[in-house]
Structure 1
Amino acid sequence: MIKAVIFDLDRTLLDRDASVECFIKDQYDRFEESLKSVSRVAFTSRFIELDQRGYLPKNQVYKQLVHELDLGKGMVVELDQDYQDSFKHHCIPFKGLKEVLLQLIENNYQLGLITNGKGRFQMDNIQALGIESFFRTILISELEGVKKPDPTIFERAMERINQPLEACVYVGDHLEKDVQAAENIGMKAVWKKDKKEEESLARYSIFHLTELPSLLQKMNTKEERSCYSK
């Protein structure tokens, strides 16, 4: 029986792609005078390409961006620091985020969160979404000294949420770092797909967060039937 749901953050609860687009357009507007004759399209589109959906460190992203656009080395630190300080003001949740979390709590699920990234930066984003209080435990890789897909961070989450392996399910967007990592230690996992029509490469998958409560109910019903048939 599933009693605890542990979430990833980026592209699972936080619509990171929309948030990044919102942020980088605003950054261009605020720094336009320092960006010489660089167009908004050139600056924003190249940032998004270099960002690689968040998997390239921002100092490297800005270093390459500044080099390509010939903005002067001093801009690297300035733009990177602005990203660290200002991204939180542009966090966009997936539709129904708070409603889903509240519904899960009302259904007596305990909630946790595991995310890779910098401690203060990720906590700022969680607080910006207004969801910190929903979680019994929050683990951020920089603060934990270990990151997904290392099983240690999943084990710590289960320990802190005080639920055994078989009672937990992990929900994330990355097949390797989220889904496979959770399944490798025997935890159930739900894949948060990017596209509705995307082929399901995991046993359980959703496109909208709003699909999760009913999926969990089905998973528990299936488990109950399985136990009853033995």
Structure 2
Amino acid sequence: MIKAVLFDLDGNLLDREVSLERFIKSQHERLNKSVGHILKEQYVSKFIELDCRGYIWKDKVYQQMVAEFNITGVSWEQLLQDYVHQFKGYCVPFPNLIQMLTSLTNQSIVLGIISNGKGQFQMDNIMALGIEHYFETILISEKEGIKKPDPLLFKKALEQLNITPNECIFVGDHPENDVKASKDVGMLAAWKKTSEWENVEEDFIVHDLMEVPLLKELIVNKERTMAINELPNRGS
């Protein structure tokens, strides 16, 4: 019986691609005195390229931006601080986020987040989405000292929620850090499908967040069918 759903944050609850593009366009406009010699389209595309979908921390991104574009009016440290303090103002949720979380809590499903990233930065983004009160546990890699796909992070969430792995669904977009890692500890894994990967060995595919509340019934029906199929053949 499913009692809990755990989520990755970026690319699952937070539409990071849209949020990032909104932020970096704004940064170019706000700091135009220092970066205005760079075309906005160039500034945005180079940042997104160097960011590597969030897997490169921004100190390295901004150091390379400053070097490549010969930025002199502002330091990479100042650009980084602008990112750290301002990004939360540009956070965009995926469609149906609040409806999905409300539906799950109405089913008495407990919720959690396991996210790689900087502790306060990720918490600021969660709060910017206005969703922190839905979650019984929020584990962020920097604060925990371990990061996905380390199984200890998943096991800690299970302990905090007082549930077993087979009572939990994990929803994430990364094949290794989310899908495989959660399956390896015994959870059911729902892949939030993206165009980045193929041949992901998930238990379920999620295209829209409102599909998540339906997974519980889908699992019940699947288990019922399996039980029926395992009944002895009583044919004459």
8 Å CA contact retained: 2:6, 2:171: yes
SS at match of 1:5: strand
TM-score normalised per structure 1: 0.95
Provide the rounded CA distance (Å) in 2 between the counterparts of 1:157 and 1:204. 21
The runs of at least 4 consecutive aligned structure 1 residues that moved more than 6 Å come to: none
TM-score, normalised with respect to structure 2: 0.92
Distance in structure 2 (CA, Å) of the matches to 1:16 and 1:216: 27
After superposition, the C-alpha distances for 1:25-81 in whole angstroms (9 at most, x for unaligned) are 000010000115111111111101111110011000011111100013952001001
In the other structure, the counterpart of 2:24 is 24
Shift of 1:217: 1.5
What is the CA–CA distance in structure 2 between the aligned matches of 1:146 and 1:198, rounded to whole Å?
27
Q: Quick check: 1:117 aligned with 2:99?
A: no
CA 1:112–1:227: 2 relative to 1, 3 Å: farther
Q: Percent identity?
A: 46
Amino acid at match of 1:177: N
Cα gap change, 1:203 to 1:123, in 2 (>3 Å) = same
Instruction: Measure the CA separation in 2 of the matches of 1:184 and 1:163.
Output: 16
Alpha-carbon deviations, 1:12-37, whole Å to 9, x = none? 00000000000000000100001151
| Offset of residue 199 of structure 1 | 5.9
Amino acid at match of 2:168: C
Other-structure match for 2:234: none
Q: Which residue of the partner structure matches residue 150 of structure 1?
A: 150
CA gap 1:73/1:60 in 2 versus in 1, 3 angstroms:
farther
Please state whether the residue corresponding to 2:38 is helix, strand or coil: coil
CA contact under 8 A between 1:165 and 1:186: conserved in structure 2?
A: yes
Give the Cα–Cα distance (whole angstroms) in 2 for the partners of residues 156 and 89 of structure 1: 30
Measure the CA separation in 2 of the matches of 1:34 and 1:74. Answer: 6
1:52-91 matched pairs, under 5 angstroms: 52-72=52-72, 75-91=75-91
* 1:100 equivalent in structure 2: 100
Structure 1: 5+ residue stretches without partners: none
CA RMSD for the aligned pairs?
1.8
| Structure 2 segments unaligned to the other structure (5+ residues) | 232-236
Give the C-alpha shift of residue 203 in structure 1: 2.8
Aligned residue pairs total 230
| Pairwise CA distance, 1:216 | 2.7
